[in-house]
Amino acid sequence: MIAKLRKTTNTLIKLLVVVLTLVFLYDQLFIRHDMENIMAFFPLIYEKQNVFFLLLIVGLLTVLNFSLETLKWQLIISKLEEIPFLRSVKAVLAGMAVSMFMPNRVGDYLGRVFILKHADRLQAVLATILGSMAQLITTLLFGMVALLFYYPFLFDVHILFHGWIFSGLVLGVMVTSFLMVFVYLNFNSFSLVIKRISGRGYRKIKKYAEVFSMYSFSELFGILLISIARYMVFSFQFYLLLKVFQVPVNYPESMMLVSMVYLFMTGIPTIALTEFGVRGTVSLTVFEQYFVAIGCWNEDLTLGIVAASSMLWVVNIVFPAAVGTVFVFSLRFIRRNHVD
The answer to whether position 2 is within a domain reads no
At 12 the pLDDT is 76
Question: 27-85: per-residue pLDDT in tens?
Answer: 666 665 556 656 666 655 656 668 888 989 999 999 999 999 999 999 999 999 999 99
Question: 272-281: per-residue pLDDT in tens?
Answer: 545 566 777 8
The answer to whether position 19 is within a domain reads no
What are φ and ψ of residue 271, in 5° steps? -105, 165
The answer to whether position 54 is within a domain reads yes
> Which of the residues in the chain have pLDDT under 70?
1-7, 10, 25-49, 101-107, 109, 269-277, 333, 335-340
Nearest to 238 by CA among 279, 269, 268, 201: 279
Which spans in the chain are helix H?
2-26, 36-45, 51-77, 85-99, 107-110, 121-154, 160-185, 190-198, 202-209, 217-244, 251-266, 272-293, 300-313, 319-327
At 339 the pLDDT is 43
Q: Is pTM, for the whole model, over 0.85?
A: yes
The answer to whether position 340 is within a domain reads no
Nearest to 78 by CA among 48, 123, 18: 123
Nearest to 227 by CA among 140, 162, 289, 155: 140
The answer to whether position 169 is within a domain reads yes
At 34 the pLDDT is 55
The answer to whether position 184 is within a domain reads yes
Tell me the one-letter amino acid at 94. A
User: Residue 174 sits in which domain range?
Assistant: 24-330
The answer to whether position 29 is within a domain reads yes
At 338 the pLDDT is 45
Give every CB contact of residue 296 below 8 A, 6+ residues apart in sequence.
Answer: 248
How many independent structural domains does the chain possess? 1
- HSE on the CB side for 253, CA within 13 Å? 15
Length of the chain, in residues:
340
The answer to whether position 279 is within a domain reads yes
